Every structure is written in C-alpha cells, then in structure tokens.
Structure 1
Amino acid sequence: MDFAKMPDGLVPVIVQDAQTGQVLMLGYQNEEALTKTQLEGRVTFFSRSKQRLWTKAETRGNFLPVVRLPTDCDQDALLILATPDGPTCHRGTTSCFEQPEQLAYPAPAVSFVAELERLVQHRHRFPDEDPNSYTASLFRKGIPKIAQKVGEEAVETVIDAVAGNRDGLPGEAADLLYHLLVLLTASGLSLENVVDVLRQRHSTISQGVRREE
C-alpha cells in the first residue's frame, strides 16, 4: 500500500462479506492498522474521530475475521474480504449500508444461499444452542440419515420436474438444496468446494472452445 499518497496517511478500506459478497462497511487504515490486521487476522481501523487504532467490534464481540486483502491497481485503496461473526453495523444490521426498514427485503439469490449455508454451519458448530432445531437434529443423526434425505428430496424433485409440476418443483428443489448444504457441512465441505470444481470444469471447457476457434 502507498500510504504516502494520502495527506493524512490513511487509505479507504471497503469490507465485503467473503461468502455473500455484500458490502459491509467503509473504514480507514494507516500502515499500523493494516499491519495489525494482517498479524491478528481481524479487521483493525484507524479512527479519525478518536485518533487511535480500533479493532472492529472490540467492545461488542462481532469481529471481522479476515479472509483476503486485495488492493486496488493504484495501491491507495484496500478491499477486505471477511466473514463477520455477527452484525457489522452498530445499529444491529448486517451492513452499514443497510437501513433497519430494509431488513425485510429479499437478499439476492446467491447471497441468501450463502447466508443459509452459514446458518447451517453455525448449527453444526453449536448444536446445543438450539437443540430443537431441525438442522441440529439432522447432524445428530449423522451422515447416513442426511444422505438418505438428500436422496429422497432428489427423487421428489425429479418426479415434479418430469410431471411438469411447476408449482411443486421450487419447493422440492429448495428441500434438496437445503439438505445438500447440511450434507456438505457434515462431510467437512462447503459450497465453495463445489464451486471450485465447477470453476475448474468451466475453465477446461472454455480453453477447449478457444482451441477449437
């Protein structure tokens, strides 16, 4: 980072959810804040109002664990991809760019699936937090039972698709996707592992098409 380009030595930092892609907040870092972030793996900013370093959520506990820190082409702005431990904004919203009255608005499809996977993973890590949760009960039954449910939902999805049941198909597909997320989590995997395979296959196909051209 070229901190010298800025008169006050501070560069703007955008924090983005590494799983959902949602922009969470804007902050500023000096060289010391960036170094602390890299060493501790939690987002630390420089507070312009308090004139000191502050680790995001140091009093509330909703830290921003860092996944990656890509810089822009001019080396004077930073994008931090993080996996928030809870609401990022002090108002209790997921994002500082999200108004409380907007919480009922539907999230983009891909973003919502990522949020659902995060909830499934949380149930897996903390099964006793909500013992009556259906997701937690599936994890207690183990992979064979979860895999059985995936098979059942897959068959029901196929039946509705073949029958042309457009009303029932989305519900069956939703059940299938949900149970697949549970199965991946129970197996120590995630959607990212699946997407990695798709990316690799897409790259192979794209290279083959370019060669044919």
Structure 2
Amino acid sequence: MMGKITGDLLNKVKFDGQGLVPAIIQDAETKTVLMLAYMNQESLTKTLQSGFTWFYSRSRKCLWQKGESSGHVQQVESIHYDCDGDTLLVTVKQTGAACHEGTFSCFSRRLDEEVVQDAAIVESTEVYGQVATILNDLYEVIQDRKHNRQEGSYTCYLFDKGQDKILKKVGEESAETIIASKNNSKEEILYEMSDLWYHCLVLLSYHNITPTELLAELYGRRK
C-alpha cells in the first residue's frame, strides 16, 4: 500500500504506555466518522502492508482484522497522524456496515436524544439487503479463504487447523452467546451471535454445504 515499512515511519507515532494508539476511522467518500479502535505497532504495520485495517483488541488481547468474519472490510485510502503524533486518522473505503449492529457508522446515536434514530437501521436494511444475501456474501468470502490461503487470515487458520478446531469454536461461541443472553445485554447478544453465525458458516463451508441449502431446509420445515 505505502511501500516499505521502516522504523522511522513507525517512530512518527507516539504509542501510549500500553503500546497503543487510538485510530479514528473515516469513510473516504462521505467523510462520515465510522468508528474508533486501537492499534499497536504490529497491527499498524499489518495495516500498512496489507492496505486493510487491523486493530488490537484490548478486551481479547489480540490482533483482529476489520471485516474478517463479516466481510465488511475497510480498504485504506490514507493514514494521517495529529500534531502530537498520538492519534491516527485513517480514511477508508468501507464495505458494508462499520458497526456490528448493522449501521454504517458506530456513531449513530446522539447524546441529547433518548431514542436511537431508526433511520440509520432502515438505511442499513435497504443498503445491505435481505438475510439470504448477507449470508451468501459472507459465505463467498469464507469459500475464497478456504481455496485461496492468505497469510494472517483467521478464516484460513481455522481451515488449516481442521474440523476439530472449527467445532471447538462453534461450541465456544455458543457458550458465549448463552452467557450474553443470561446477561440480558442486547449488545453482547448481537456481538456473540454474529461470531456464532460466522463460525457456523465456516462449518458449512467445511462440509461443502451452502447457506441456500440451509435456508431451503428451514423453509421446508415452515411449510
């Protein structure tokens, strides 16, 4: 994306005591602020090398690529740092929704309003289509990772490890979804169930079963 990554380039960024720097993500076309996440040196390097955003999860203590499971990747257009060098502004070409709740931006709520703007959800539904389309689009990404291995891809990692690893992740995500439900947290449920659905799609791909076949089975039961 931006050529050879050197120490001098990374030295322009002032990481905090935990080795992190906040990154504001902005849509290059609409100038909408999409989200805020954190990068460390490794995730910033991977972002610069791959041309797609990588972040560091403070809760999970690991790197993650935006859109790895959802397909809603962010292709980097430019990266700027502020006058103090302790904050990044990353402009991207956003595919799909930036927010895990399905809205284009994570900043879809106003502090001075009690009710979330329904228009953001409606717009998201109109743009990203029906459930079948979303599932099939994500499945195509998973299938591509299955047949075209990419270094650093979590999906490729799952296929490399094989069936037992995929089944273990399905079990773990199922348990985490249950915990989220017991916590009565909508945000947790949406987040964990998204992870669960993704891993279920990986399992379908492992067995060469398509989402269309699954939906046909559900439709047949309804009839």
Shorter-chain TM-score range: 0.3 to 0.5
> Scaled by the length of structure 1, what TM-score is found?
0.47
TM-score, scaled to structure 2? 0.45
